[in-house]
Amino acid sequence: MKIAFIGLGHMGGPMAVNLQKAGHSVAAFDLSKPACDKFAAAGLTIAASAEAAVQGAEVVISMLPASRHVQALYLGAGATGEGGLLAHIAPGTLVIDSSTIAAATSQQVARAADAAGIDFIDAPVSGGTGGAIAGTLTFMVGASAAQLERARPVLEKMGSNIFHAGSVGAGQTAKICNNMLLGILMIGTSEAIALGVANGLDPRVLSEIMRRSSGGNWALEKYNPWPGVQENAPSSKDYAGGFGTDLMLKDLGLAQENAGAVQASTPLGGLARSLYAMHSMSGHGGLDFSSIVQSLQKRAS
């Protein structure tokens, strides 16, 4: 299958590589030349532009930072797609957007795509860079049942869990609920470890105690925020790579916007957003979101 992949960041690049390893013909593009060079070295074919990448593609996949990037890519300056990439995609093509964006943006692009005879679905992911590299991501899909079945053979080459959340936009709603919980639990885990360390406990021992007890969670299992506890976690690599603080802040903002729109009460989500905002304003926006422990550690000392 010929696939166009737009967006070669920490997540998108490995996802595109896995598709190529699975035998698909992948034409990739990113506005960042270093990203293109990095994945060209990994064997990906890099197109001269997004428009060139989608020529003849049966499936187009995008993995971009925020709503505005997805709107600009597919719709250009307008709302109907004439000035964006939709104008260069052949009718009948399947478009899978795996960015984490507002559900309303996914629905807006889907309407323009439908008018052009293009199938557009939202399929944001969870699993981090490790999951992207290993091909074990979780996809939360907003699509019709028929669209999902059309996308499944492609998604299965990048992930091990595929959930049908509902119609277009539902995948994005599920993702912001998940990431709001992730942001909250990372703060709670960081607080608990910092408290223990302030009392002289070994962070490895404390983490293992909590991991096997009622406080066990994903951060303790796979993404410990304390340096040196887990060798492959971003915390043990100076918080480089992984999922940036500013990206978590963006997702928490999406959750709060959505909560306001549907009048849902999310007090912990709001508090988490404020804490990540302060962490970002302290100069840590580019670090992995687990670096929030640094701010909490200072308060505990």
What does the pLDDT read at residue 300?
40
On the question of pLDDT at 106 being above 80, the answer is yes
What does the pLDDT read at residue 130?
86
**128 vs 208: CA distance, rounded Å:** 22
Give the pLDDT confidence of 92-105 residue by residue, as tens digits: 999 999 999 999 99
What does the pLDDT read at residue 83?
80
Neighbour count for residue 106 (Cβ, 10 Å): 26
Helix (H, G, I), strand (E, B) or coil at 141: strand
Which structural domains are found in the chain, ordered by start? 2-166 (3.40.50.720), 173-300 (1.10.1040.10)
Q: Which of 110-114, 128-132, 136-140, 158-162 has the lowest mean pLDDT?
A: 128-132
Query: For 195-221, what is the mean pLDDT?
Result: 97
Query: For 124-131, what is the mean pLDDT?
Result: 91
Q: Which of 64-73, 212-221, 228-237, 291-300 has the lowest mean pLDDT?
A: 291-300
**Cβ–Cβ < 8 Å for 83, 76:** yes
What does the pLDDT read at residue 126?
94
Give the pLDDT confidence of 48-94 residue by residue, as tens digits: 999 999 999 999 999 999 999 999 999 997 666 668 999 999 999 99
**158 vs 28: CA distance, rounded Å:** 15
Tokens of 86: 């939709």
**Cβ–Cβ < 8 Å for 82, 48:** no
On the question of pLDDT at 107 being above 60, the answer is yes
Mean pLDDT over all residues of the chain? Answer: 95
171 pLDDT band (50/70/90 cuts)? very high
What does the pLDDT read at residue 301?
42
Length of the chain: 301
Query: For 152-161, what is the mean pLDDT?
Result: 98
**10 vs 5: CA distance, rounded Å:** 14
Query: For 160-182, what is the mean pLDDT?
Result: 98
What does the pLDDT read at residue 80?
61
Q: Where are the alpha helices (DSSP H) in 49-102?
A: 50-53, 67-75
Q: Which of 2, 33, 157, 175 is catalytic?
A: 175
Q: 175 catalytic, yes or no? A: yes
**228 vs 199: CA distance, rounded Å:** 18
**Cβ–Cβ < 8 Å for 11, 129:** yes
Query: For 282-286, what is the mean pLDDT?
Result: 96
110 pLDDT band (50/70/90 cuts)? very high
On the question of pLDDT at 221 being above 60, the answer is yes
Taking CA atoms, 48 is separated from 36, 40, 51, 93, in Å, by: 10, 12, 8, 20
State residue 115 phi and psi, 5-degree precision: -65, -25
